[in-house]
Chains A and B, each alone.
Chain A
Amino acid sequence: MSHVKTSPGARGAAPKGPGKALDRVFDTHSYQFVPPDPNAPIVVAHKTPSSRYWEQRFVTLLKRSGFIWPWPPRKGKR
């Protein structure tokens, strides 16, 4: 069963901002992140109620693909 589809030219359609980069596709539990950098890994994940530490893992992979985290960046003020 496939939940995520990488549409042709998905990399070419660079997301306009971090909020746009995270796609929810096909059903409510599968995610795909196509980073603007064509050399960075595409991230996929599938969540079920029994998934443990899924969010942390997903965010870690997103960060490695160039996702800016946390968003928005903190200001340098105290």
Chain B
Amino acid sequence: MATEEGEEVVEEFNVEVTVAAQIDADALVDLTDALSSAGSAASFTDDTYTIALTAEGADVFDAQMHARRLLGDFEIPEERIVRMTTMTIDELEREVTRPTYPEVVGIAEIAERLGVSKQRASQVARTAAFPKPYAELASGPVWFLPNVKRFIEEWERKPGRPRKERAPA
């Protein structure tokens, strides 16, 4: 990225590097310690480890190169790098605030949103136009909130008691 005067602007990026190799927990902590000025955090399984850190650059590609240079001092085998994700700090902030669970609602919440009783909400939820439940629990069905919101936006509320359809003579 460059300013109108042509000066290169260096930004900070979040870079995550996953390495397909075993690492001892203490060794990984030592690594995050050594990279602490880059705000490093890490995770590991039996056969991989991931290091996340701040790298600088004019763009994501530049930041990846910076991250490789930072990690290059620690004899991390480049041929074992199986994943490298780079994102802006704004994107990192968005990822942090994203919930790890789906937002779901039950009949009580749907009734509140529709402004009707729970009995009426159950009737509405049984209509063909209503979205299918996200899960059926022992305590009752739950719905994915965005689906319910979309339904409510498009729902044509009909006042009064619905007419009973007469059986054909």
Contact = CB atoms under 8 A, between A and B. Distances in A.
A51 B36 contact: yes
Contacts of A61: 41-43, 50, 52
A67 B52 contact: no
Nearest to A58: B41
B136 to A, nearest CB: 16
A54 B29 contact: no
A41 B96 contact: no
A68 B102 CA distance: 11
Contacts of A30: 29
Contact of A6 (B25, B30, B38): B25
Contacts of B103: 74, 76
Contacts, number: 123
Contacts of B53: 57
Nearest to A69: B100
Given A4-B25, A61-B41, A74-B103, A56 B96 contact: yes
Interface residues of A, number: 43
Interface residues of B, number: 42
B52 A46 contact: no
A46 B36 contact: yes
B27 to A, nearest CB: 9
Interface of B: 12, 14, 25-26, 28-30, 32-33, 36-45, 48-50, 52-54, 89, 92-93, 95-97, 99-101, 103-106, 109, 112-113, 145
Given A58-B41, A74-B99, 18 more contacts: A2-B26, A3-B33, A5-B25, A40-B45, A43-B42, A44-B44, A46-B33, A52-B12, A53-B12, A53-B89, A56-B92, A57-B52, A68-B100, A73-B101, A75-B109, A76-B104, A77-B109, A78-B112
